[in-house]
Amino acid sequence: MELPFKTLSSRENVTYKHIKSLRQAKKAHEAGLVLVEGFRQVEEALAAGIQPLWLIVSQAALTHERWSALLTLAQARCEAKPFECLLLEPRLFEGLSATASPQGVALVAPSPILASPAAQPDATGLYLVLEGIQDPGNLGTMIRTADAFAFSGVILAGPTTDPFGDKALRSAMGSTFHLPVYQFPSIVEVKHWLSASKIPLIAAELSGETLSRSTVLAPPAALVIGNEGAGLSSEALALSDRHLKIAMPGQAESLNAAAAAAILCHLFALGRPEAQ
């Protein structure tokens, strides 16, 4: 099927002004919508079953090498449930883009709901628990890391930045649509959920056991990373079954939260039986 594009050429168009307003996090949250931009992000969202309200393109997108693949995904979603397709003049698309050199493709959809915890977590799984993460770039990067190392899911504990915000989505590079992202009010509820499957909570913190070549890291496990500035809460430290520290022979006092998560996720992934 052909997508029925409607051309927009005025900044005063009501629909255009509404879509542009979604660049403001408060407006997006109030509307319950998310604006996803760029070929990779839009492709991943469509492939994951996200149903658009609007697919938005500029003329440049229609001649892009990735347009054919994206068009196939969009047609499938439109057949399932029709949505509006908007063709914007370049200046209009630039006006709603969050990047300096936009690729000319975006979609607006109802904001995905954070996954509801299953009855029990995977008793053989690996989970990345993020407590109080506030930097969207860090959050997106850590979701991408968990995806790269085939973790069973990402768990957000307590107040965190929005995983479906623009910067977090761009940093995740599509991974937000690949694995479940759970939300719990606090680390206490996380611990209770994990305990149902006897999954230990492993804290990354500077006073923990220093990792060595002989340290065994293997699933099941839930690695918890704390806030960028404050680190883990006292509750998280008290509830953790094990505390780990990454050896740092250089002069830096600590690692960025996302860097620490990447190192430890890799080590846990190597501990899987099939990786031996």
Neighbours of 212 (CB within 10 A): 7
For residue 115, is pLDDT > 80? no
Determine which of 67-71, 109-113, 170-174 has the lowest per-residue pLDDT on average: 109-113
Q: Of 110, 136, 171, which residue is a domain's last?
A: 110
Number of structural domains found in the chain: 2
Domain assignment present for residue 134? The answer is yes
Same domain as 91, residue 147: no
pLDDT for the residue numbered 84: 94
Same domain as 271, residue 193: yes
Question: Domain containing 220: what range?
Answer: 126-275
Who wins on pLDDT, 211 or 148? 148
Contacts of residue 218, defined as CB under 8 A and 6 or more positions apart, other chains included, come to: 268, 271, 272, 273
pLDDT for the residue numbered 275: 63
pLDDT for the residue numbered 4: 84
Tens of pLDDT, residue by residue over 242-254, are 999 999 989 988 8
pLDDT for the residue numbered 264: 96
Q: What are phi and psi of 86, to 5 degrees?
A: -115, 130
For residue 1, is pLDDT > 90? no
Tens of pLDDT, residue by residue over 130-147, are 999 999 999 999 999 999
For residue 176, is pLDDT > 60? yes
Predicted confidence band of residue 214 (pLDDT cuts 50, 70, 90): confident
Q: Going by DSSP bridges, is the β-strand pair 201-210/221-225 parallel, antiparallel, or unpaired?
A: parallel
pLDDT cut 70: percent of the chain above it: 99
| CA neighbor of 276 nearest in space, from 237, 221, 218 | 218
Q: Of 80, 110, 140, which residue is a domain's last?
A: 110
Predicted confidence band of residue 276 (pLDDT cuts 50, 70, 90): low
Same domain as 74, residue 41: yes
For residue 241, how many C-alpha atoms fall within 13 Å in the half-sphere facing its CB? 14
CATH number of the domain that residue 90 is part of:
3.30.1330.30
User: What is the average pLDDT across 182-210?
Assistant: 94
Domain assignment present for residue 79? The answer is yes
Same domain as 141, residue 52: no
Say whether pTM exceeds 0.85. yes
CATH number of the domain that residue 173 is part of:
3.40.1280.10
